[in-house]
Structure 1
Amino acid sequence: MSEAAREWLESLRPGGVRALFDTLPGLLYFAKDTEFRIMSGNRAFAQRCGFSTVSEMIGRSDLEIFPLELAEKYREDDRKVMESGEGMIGIVELFPNSIGEPEWFVTDKIPLFTRTGEVAGVCGTVRSYEGARAELQPYLDLLPATDYLKHNYAEKVSMNSLARMVGMSVRQMERRFRAAFKLSPSRYIQRLRILKACDLLVSSNLQVTEIALELGFYDHSAFSKKFSELMGMSPRAYRKRHSQSRGGHEGG
């Protein structure tokens, strides 16, 4: 870490980064010391543990909060993380849900260190396994289509073919795309083409017209219009800006 980065981090007010965890829906955050006592956490974690505020749970251990068989499992994992100095990511385990019943959750834990490099404890996040899967499901339902488009965005794509890939009607597939990506399938394809165009403008010597044709646009004009609409500048202006910043070439 550079000296400037270290000085900046040390200048931050304590707790500033932690506040982010209070804004993330469905995410529980905690931190414990080497005595396995909870020393920090977000409101969602405190409430899941049965407390009204975060301050009420500070200093308590899992053995005081959870059923013995769950608390012992949590403590054993905490001990492994602190003794090894390495994180445990993607632990699928039972954790009380909002009504106190054990449910499958995914836990990530990493060690905490003092400024002198000694282990200071462990921190982690807990999120519902079912909830995480539910959040991803809209994207998983469209995965065959998005995978296909990732490799074939320059080709003329049939909406009927995309719909068949995901086992939906065209109307249903378009509705799912808008819900998941806030874009129609056609706009999604255009975004992929423009993103690739950005890469080619900076990394290649291809002329703008060559890039337009390679990415499936009818001509230079159609490409420039769409590029300007999405990027706020012409392809040539984009290439010039990034060529200057990287000390690279400037194509036509």
Structure 2
Amino acid sequence: MLPIHEMLSQLDPPFTGEELFDHLPDIVFFIKNTQGQYLVVNNTLVQRCGARSKEDLIGHTPYEVLRLPLSQSFEDQDKKVLETGQPLVGQLELHFYATRDVGWCLTSKLPLRSKSGEVVGLVGVSQDLRLPDLATEEYSHVIDAIQYAESHLTDPPSVKRLAEIAKMSPYQLDRRMRRVFGLTTGQWLLKLRIDLAQRLLRTSEGSIASIALEAGYADQSAFTRQFRRATGMSPRDYRNARRGTSS
């Protein structure tokens, strides 16, 4: 049998996965060099950036094609992967694109290494999260836990408490949450709270501190740190960006 590396070395042009990922509209795909510049992108990324073609992205960094502060968050991720050689796996993020679309994604970035082991770039994907259909008997108690969490966000329940409501162990609840959401219970709780916060930032005039409390954060600084980690921007920057202001 021909080893995979020998087969790939015979291909012209080299296989990058670009054409395959062009047929997956819910996945952003890219390959970057050590400067964080795009070498390969799929059509989904082009659309999310509001660009006209792939050529508008190739050779550019996120800072050059995406608006701040989202672009800075992506570049910080790239730098960490490229400098440490450690992968970023399953990072839950709220993406805010030039097209003004907003959505949750799970992002993974892996270092690309030369034969000598040197990091020569990275490859990454961001997959959109879709809300599942939970209308089955198997998940009736999971629905109870979800509804409880949604109605108690100002005092968010623990994973252990949600497992009790779902009448199963935390491990069993995690397995079911992963199956339908692609997230652990803890990740899903974070998504729920950040979703509420970004909605309030967009639609209300409440202070950052009051919104932090509504989302279940007694400490505004902790809220800001977690919001920035999930969205790539501070609550204030997010509010200004969604309203088209720079103040």
TM-score by structure 1 length?
0.49
CA distance in 2: counterparts of 1:49 and 1:92, whole angstroms: 19
CA distance in 2: counterparts of 1:15 and 1:144, whole angstroms: 42
CA distance in 2: counterparts of 1:143 and 1:122, whole angstroms: 43
User: Which structure: greater helix fraction?
Assistant: 1
In structure 2, what residue type is equivalent to 1:57? L
CA distance in 2: counterparts of 1:97 and 1:71, whole angstroms: 10
CA distance in 2: counterparts of 1:119 and 1:16, whole angstroms: 17
Other-structure match for 1:45: 45
In structure 2, relative to structure 1, the CA distance for the partners of 1:33 and 1:16 (3 Å cut) is closer
Other-structure match for 1:133: 130
Contact 1:70–1:94 (Cα < 8 Å) also in 2: no
CA distance in 1: counterparts of 2:32 and 2:5, whole angstroms: 24
User: Which whole-Å deviations, capped at 9, do the CAs of 1:20-70 have from their partners, x for residues lacking one?
Assistant: 101113111111111111111101111211212112210111111222221
Other-structure match for 2:114: 114
Other-structure match for 2:5: 6
Unpaired runs of 5+ residues, structure 2, are 140-247
Contact 2:49–2:97 (Cα < 8 Å) also in 1: no
Give the aligned CA root-mean-square deviation in angstroms: 2.7
Other-structure match for 1:144: 138
Number of aligned residue pairs: 140
The answer on 1:81 being equivalent to 2:81 is yes
TM-score by structure 2 length?
0.50
CA distance in 2: counterparts of 1:103 and 1:17, whole angstroms: 24
In structure 2, relative to structure 1, the CA distance for the partners of 1:30 and 1:5 (3 Å cut) is closer
CA distance in 2: counterparts of 1:143 and 1:64, whole angstroms: 49
Higher RCO (CA 8 Å, separation ≥ 6 residues)? 2
User: Which whole-Å deviations, capped at 9, do the CAs of 1:83-141 have from their partners, x for residues lacking one?
Assistant: 2222111111232247324443221111112233211111111122xxx232xx13x44
In structure 2, relative to structure 1, the CA distance for the partners of 1:6 and 1:50 (3 Å cut) is same
CA distance in 1: counterparts of 2:20 and 2:124, whole angstroms: 14
Q: Higher Cα Rg: structure 1 or 2?
A: 1
CA distance in 1: counterparts of 2:60 and 2:78, whole angstroms: 15
